[in-house]
Each structure stands twice: as structure tokens, then as C-alpha cells.
Amino acid sequence: MDICSPSSFPTPDACYAAIQARDTRFDGRFFTGVTSTGIYCRPVCPARLPKRENCTFWPSAAAAEQAGFRACLRCRPEAAPGTPAAQGSAATVSRALRLIGEGALDTGSVCQLADRLGLGERQVRRLFNMHLGANPEAVAATRRLLLANQLLRDTNLPVADIAFASGFSSLRRFNDAFAKRYGEPPTAIRRAARKKGHGATNKDNALPFDLRLRLGFRPPFDWQMILDYFEMRAIPGVEAIDGNRYRRTVRLNDAHAFIEAEPDKSRDILWVRVMSNRPFALADLVMRLRRLFDLDAQPQAIGAHFSDDPLIGPLVKQRPGLRIPGA
């Protein structure tokens, strides 16, 4: 999710031009709500272009869902690139989003989040409504439900494990929130996905908790550079490069897991397989993975910024899509 001040949010005409061109520069900067279908999409959605009069534009997935739109099953809003660096009040919202992404509102309150930001609760709510069009609770709830939706469609994990992994404190709360948002229980979503041929991405489950996450990025993405960077610095027994895959062990609080990452061959998605002997909340891991592979970078904006620099400009042009691992 990109953070823009209200004055810098793209105009409706610019938004429509972006979805016409499926412009990857705008992926994560806004979401399109289509009134004729009740669906909201990313600017890069491969579905047929909706009519201009049927389009509304929202600064966040949470704002679109608060307005009554449902997530598109083709472009998968949960895979949209995240928040790049920002300045001013937008930087505060960016930091708050990262804390929410790490699970700050799964166990804490908005008041506690505001304390961590050094602001009052009322100020935090005002900034969220100004920049994202939704309150912090709605943003956190949307993040949890979108992750749960992905796991229901892409894995064979038990529903109880999905509830916990998505950040819900109990299965009852998960079922209630899901039914309230989508109008049907989680099991109905899973049955529908099975009928359409979707299912578990890992049939050779090595451990009880075994799934694949889809993490979006803005192209270009120099994956080979990432692999070369980590291979030169690999910690024996912790991480390794295996062909086109990056593998390592991770520890989050009292959870231990093993991950494998490799990019999709045709789409702007990094697939990350996560394996553990028991379920654990995935929010913190997802945020760490996005930082590890610098998935929220805007390479085209970076290239444009350095294009006139006599030293860096030629280097950026020669190697587009460079990232800063761990940024």
C-alpha cells in the first residue's frame, strides 16, 4: 500500500489511465472499485477494463472494503506491493502500517499503537482517515481477512490454523469476522475454490504447517542480483542458494520455520514457501520477507531520480530493478 497525501493522490482520470495501461507504477497506490460488479481490483488486474462511469478509486484496500467492495480473485489485492518510504505525516502512517503488519493490533489497541508512534489516539485516527480513507481497526481487519482468504484458497491448512496464522485470537472471532465481511463462512470459500480447481500449492507437505505465500512487487526485479548478494554472505547452516531458490531458517519469538523463495516465471509475484512443525501468526514474517527482498521499492521512480546523475545514472540504466536486500 502506497501512502500519499490527499493532494498527491492520483486524479480519477490518472487512475483510469493507469488501469487502461495496467501500469505497474501505480500498483499498490490505489484500488479500483467497480460499482457494476461490487469488486475492487489492483491497477494491474488482467480482467476486462470496466467502463469509466462504473469506476471509483480508493487509497487503500481497507477503504474499498469499508465501501462494500469485495476483493478481486484474479489480481488478488493481498499480493499488492506495500509501502515505500514517505515523508511528513505520511511517514507516520507508513510506520503505523508496518507495526500493524507486524501484528500490533492483533493483540493491542489503537491507543497502544499511538503510544508507540508518540502520538495521541485521535491524531492517529485522523491521519489514517486522511491518507487511507479508513480507520486503523479497518486496516488491520482487512489485512487479516485478505491473508486468510489467500490461505483458504491456496492451501489445505485446517481452518483453525488459518485463523491463528492470519492473526485472529480465536476461531469464533475468525468465523464471525469472515461471515460479516463476505456474507458466508470460511468453509464456503474453500469449497468454491476447490470446485474451480484451486487448492494446495504444496502436495508434498514436509511438515504439518506448510504453505506458500504470494508477495507482489513492482517490476523490474533483478532476482539474480538478490541471489548473488545472499550467496556471498550466506551463513552456513542458516541460509543457502539452491538453483533459483533462496532458502533459510527463521525464528520469530518461539516459532521456528524454514522458508524457500523464488519468483513466478510469468507474473510479478515472489512465492515463499513456509514450513514449520506448528502454526504461528504470519504477519511479522510477511513484513520481514518484504524487507528482506526489498519488495516495496519503486524501481521506476528510483531510475527516474538517478537518470541525470553522471555517476549513478548509467549504472542504474545498465542494471534496472536493483534492490537493497534487507532495506
Q: For residues 193 and 201, is the Cβ–Cβ distance under 8 A?
A: no
Most distant CA pair in the chain, distance: 60
In the chain, the domains with their CATH numbers are 6-77 (3.40.10.10), 83-154+157-198 (1.10.10.60), 209-299 (3.30.310.20)
pLDDT of residue 164: 92
pLDDT of residue 193: 82
pLDDT digit string (tens) for the chain, length 327 residues: 444 545 568 899 999 999 999 999 899 889 999 999 999 999 999 999 999 999 999 999 999 999 999 999 899 998 888 755 444 677 888 889 889 988 899 889 999 999 999 999 999 999 999 989 999 999 999 999 999 999 998 888 999 999 999 999 899 999 999 998 888 999 998 988 888 766 555 556 668 899 999 999 999 999 999 999 999 999 999 999 999 999 999 998 788 999 999 999 999 999 999 999 988 989 889 989 999 999 988 888 888 888 889 998 898 888 888 888 876
In the block, residue with C-alpha cell 491507543: 111
Dist CA 148 CA 164 (whole Å): 9
Indicate the residue type of 259: I
CA dihedral sign of residues 170, 273, 322, 242:
positive
pLDDT of residue 77: 92
- Start-to-end Cα distance in the chain: 17
Q: Are strands 255-263 and 269-276 parallel, antiparallel or unpaired?
A: antiparallel
Q: In the 3-class helix/strand/coil scheme, how is 176-228 assigned residue by residue? A: HHHHHHHCCCHHHHHHHHHHCCCCCCCCCCCCCEEEEEEEECCCCCCHHHHHH
pLDDT of residue 91: 82
pLDDT of residue 315: 87
Global pTM value: 0.82
